Amino acid sequence: MFDRLRVVLFVVALASSADAQLSVVQSGAVVTSSAARRAPVAYDFPDAGVRVTAWSAWPDMLYQGYQPIVFEFENKSADERVVEIELTRGWSDDRWRVRETATVAGGARERVELFAPVSRIYDSDYTARLACGGESTHLNGLGANQQANHAVWPVLYAHGPERAPAAGMPEVWGAALSAHPPQGLPEVSPQEDANLRRFRSMGYVGPLPPTGPPAPAAWSVAVTPIDLDELPARFEPYTSLKAVILDAQSPPPRPEVLEALLAWTRLGGCVVFQGPDAEARARAVPAAAAWMEERFVQSESDGDRVYACGQGALVVCAQYDLQGLRTSGEEAPFNATLDLVGRGMARAVSFAGAPQSDAKLDALPGLSGLELPYRALTLLLVLFAIVIGPVNLIVVKRLNRPALLLVTVPVIALVFSLGLFVYGAIAQGLGTRARGRALTWLDQRNHVASTLEVRSLFAGMPAANGWKPGPGVACVALPTDAGHTSTGQLALDFREGLVYTGDYLPVRREVRSAFLADRAARARLEVTRNGERITVENGLGAPIEGLVLRDADGAWHVLSARLGVGGKAELEPVALANTAVERVEELLGELAPLASSAQPFAGAYVARLGGSAFTDACGVEYEEEESAHVVFGILDATLGGKR
């Protein structure tokens, strides 16, 4: 009810805006809204002497991951000021909060970059409540203000100030990309599609996809231009996007921004270097150049390429400058570029709550033993009815004390209620249990591990104050299943290190979360070669249950037995590639649909581990009921080579 009222009020406000232009999606074609960024909102605290300006440069329509919201404070007084920030979105069961505290020295400026969850059903428009020195105010209109629409793929075009695209050009690019759907495009399952449509139809639906399941090859792309200075230096905000196109004719982004972009790419994103200087610009970034080897090429056209980059894709398109595509009808010379950008976006499998990945994520098994014992509960209720009714009356009648009913009825009801509660608690358990499925891309050349984990957790008692991830780790709340599209009341607290609270970690309810980790790692599989013989030493930090290695020449080798930590073993050669590929599929198991590559590259390996070596417990102690950990290892140049 509150959500309906909220969206109705939003429609009234939107209709009164002179520049409001809605997008319309019809069978894969897109007409996007104005790409211009909404004006920042500002407020002056008169007594404190602090001016605050807030904005978000992200697209107006999102449906997965996180979005950035930026605050800039100017302290005009000589004294230090402390500003409390609280972002809120939604009503009732979907109320989300983000908290932070900013300290601004006298006469100084301070910039605070936060990120906030994105709704997969409604808009993701936030309101900021700011308090400073006894004064407070509210700033509205922060974040994506259009309703979520999983038929549209949001893309950023990052440029320098001298290379801002002309008005209307991003719409032309979006329409051109929409007209070139790539093969293997991930689809939203019919069940999830129906659920999302049903929830959105309860209020203002905005730009909805066509009715019925989406056509397999239909998609829509919305391109939003953004200045390079607006790109955040953390990877979390990029999880709401499908791709970031970097204009290679503009100055490069700041090093910390490039680091965040490449971390997101390794975790399942897509970054595009576009323009005549794209090849040189990409190779000037060490984290990108490391993946620009022949063995990582996934697609190629006229010298432009799509490279595998961990779970994601690195696209280098240097043939044409996209800004040469100014009006519709001029797409022909750009077809190869448009096709490769689409292939890059379609390659990655997102763990960041994307509806396109729901079917694959839902296929992962959840925790066991949480099903309600319906038969036992039915028997207990029947027994309760017999005891509180006939048995109670017979006993009272024999004692000839009818007044006892005033005592026996509530006592019996209380005892049975407590019994039901204790029975249910014991049946499901009072401890904290988890089941994880993790996929790690381990780049042994650069000592970087990019891990994607889906973790199902049940806490019988309060386990902790929330998830407290280490550096380079993010948590994304996932729907419990395809029939439950909401993620509840979410809260992020930045005040003393980032903590994910609320329904990120509820009590006595199974919750599914995706953990994205990109950080330095010294773990490695030591590989030595003596002629045709290959020997490995397990330095991965966990026992190896199975291993398939592909050498520089493309020959396959397998581990014949379990290998403990620190152990050495000689691999056995495999003559038939099909046999090796089947073994790889066995090692991947239920994680196979989630891996963006079905087999290792030359100079790489796939290993299934017997424990968690790369995941982060995020400050929560739990018993691991069952787990699966698969590593895609990229070896150094001594065993590299063409695929």
Residue 122 has pLDDT above 60, yes or no: yes
Residue range 376-405: mean pLDDT, rounded? 86
Cβ contacts of 144 within 8 Å, gap of 6 or more:
56, 58, 59, 60, 61, 62, 67, 118, 123, 124, 125, 240
Distance between CA atoms of 239 and 250, rounded to whole angstroms? 24
Cβ contacts of 474 within 8 Å, gap of 6 or more:
66, 235, 236, 239, 515, 516, 517
Residue range 522-540: mean pLDDT, rounded? 93
Residue range 503-523: mean pLDDT, rounded? 94
Q: Within the chain, which residue ranges are assigned CATH 3.40.50?
A: 151-181+219-354
Distance between CA atoms of 415 and 400, rounded to whole angstroms? 23
Higher-confidence residue of 372 and 28: namely: 372
Q: Is 262 left (phi over 0), alpha (psi -120 to 50) or beta?
A: alpha
Lowest-confidence pick of 35-49, 421-435, 585-599: 421-435
Choose among 92, 145, 151: nearest CA to 122.
Answer: 145
Helix-strand-coil split of the chain, %, nearest 5: 25, 35, 40
Residue 460 has pLDDT above 70, yes or no: yes
Distance between CA atoms of 585 and 591, rounded to whole angstroms? 9
If residue 116 lies in a helix (H) or strand (E), which one and from where to where?
strand 109-117
Task: State pLDDT tens for residues 281-311.
Answer: 999 999 999 999 999 999 998 889 999 999 9
Higher-confidence residue of 549 and 367: namely: 549
Tokens 């008005």 -> residue:
167
The proportion of the chain whose per-residue pLDDT surpasses 90, expressed as a percent, equals 61
Which pLDDT score is estimated for 638?
67
Residue 429 has pLDDT above 60, yes or no: yes
Task: State pLDDT tens for residues 607-632.
Answer: 999 998 899 999 999 998 889 999 99
Cβ contacts of 375 within 8 Å, gap of 6 or more:
none
Which pLDDT score is estimated for 620?
95
Distance between CA atoms of 353 and 512, rounded to whole angstroms? 10
Choose among 491, 552, 587: nearest CA to 86.
Answer: 491
Please work out, in degrees rounded to the nearest 5, the angle formed at the alpha carbon of residue 582 by the alpha carbons of 577 and 585: 130
Structure tokens at 56: 């978000």
Cβ contacts of 550 within 8 Å, gap of 6 or more:
556, 557, 580, 599, 600, 601, 602, 603, 604, 605
The topology under which CATH files domain 151-181+219-354 is Rossmann fold (3.40.50)
Residue range 190-204: mean pLDDT, rounded? 67
Choose among 249, 240, 431, 250: nearest CA to 354.
Answer: 240
pTM of the model as a whole: 0.88
Residue 201 has pLDDT above 90, yes or no: no
Find out whether 266 and 197 touch, Cβ atoms under 8 Å: no
Which pLDDT score is estimated for 17?
36
Residue 98 has pLDDT above 90, yes or no: yes
Question: Residue 91 is which amino acid?
Answer: W
Residue 376 has pLDDT above 80, yes or no: no
Sheet with 124-132: strands ordered across: 135-144, 124-132, 81-89, 96-104, 490-493, 499-502
| Helix 405-428 × helix 374-386 angle, to 10° | 170
Residue 299 β-bridge partners: 306
Structure tokens at 596: 């963006």
Distance between CA atoms of 498 and 617, rounded to whole angstroms? 14
Q: Is 531 left (phi over 0), alpha (psi -120 to 50) or beta?
A: left
Which pLDDT score is estimated for 525?
97
Residue 164 has pLDDT above 50, yes or no: yes
Residue 373 has pLDDT above 50, yes or no: yes
Please work out, in degrees rounded to the nearest 5, the angle formed at the alpha carbon of residue 156 by the alpha carbons of 150 and 160: 170
Which pLDDT score is estimated for 630?
97
Task: State pLDDT tens for residues 474-510.
Answer: 999 998 754 455 678 899 999 999 999 999 999 988 8
Q: How confident is the model at residue 513 (pLDDT cuts 50, 70, 90)?
A: very high
Q: What are phi and psi of 13, to 5 degrees?
A: -65, -40
SS3 161: helix
Q: What is the DSSP letter of 637?
A: G
Residue 21 has pLDDT above 70, yes or no: no
Cβ contacts of 262 within 8 Å, gap of 6 or more:
271, 285, 287, 288, 309
Find out whether 24 and 162 touch, Cβ atoms under 8 Å: no
Distance between CA atoms of 298 and 283, rounded to whole angstroms? 17
Distance between CA atoms of 587 and 580, rounded to whole angstroms? 11
Tokens 């975790």 -> residue:
267
Residue 37 has pLDDT above 70, yes or no: no
Distance between CA atoms of 638 and 604, rounded to whole angstroms? 11
Q: How confident is the model at residue 217 (pLDDT cuts 50, 70, 90)?
A: very low
Question: Residue 483 is which amino acid?
Answer: G
Residue range 346-370: mean pLDDT, rounded? 84
Task: Determine how many CB atoms are found less than 10 A away from the CB of residue 545.
Answer: 18
